[in-house]
Amino acid sequence: MLEIPSVKTVAQAASRVGVSRVRFSQFKALLRLSPRVITFVDGNYGDPVVRQVCTEKRLRSLVGLRDEDQWRKFLGILRDAKDRSNLWDRTTTLPAVLRGSQGKREV
């Protein structure tokens, strides 16, 4: 299953980690996120707005999309949060992908 010969099912892997099969599958789904999304979240998770916006549930909603579509939708989620939140003005680590001209969208 996960390059461990003795683990053949999701249920066995979940049991080894100590979580339910469903919870294990939810975590496993996050491994199918685009490398760009993973890198961004990992590099910006200290930002309070990014932490608030990048919930596990929201990230899982991207999983079924192609990498570029995941990235576009992810940027849209961040932009929506930026437009609705007054926290962006107070943070010093505004994500670079959201800086720049207002009219252009960076992809």
Task: Answer with the residue of higher pLDDT: 81 or 77.
Answer: 77
Q: What is the mean predicted confidence (pLDDT) over 12-32?
A: 93
Domain regions of the chain by residue span: 1-32, 33-92
How many C-beta atoms surround the C-beta of residue 34 within 10 A? 19
d(CA 107, CA 68): 9
Is the pLDDT at 51 greater than 50? The verdict is yes
Is the pLDDT at 9 greater than 80? The verdict is yes
* Structure confidence at residue 59 (pLDDT): 94
Is the pLDDT at 89 greater than 60? The verdict is no
* Structure confidence at residue 50 (pLDDT): 82
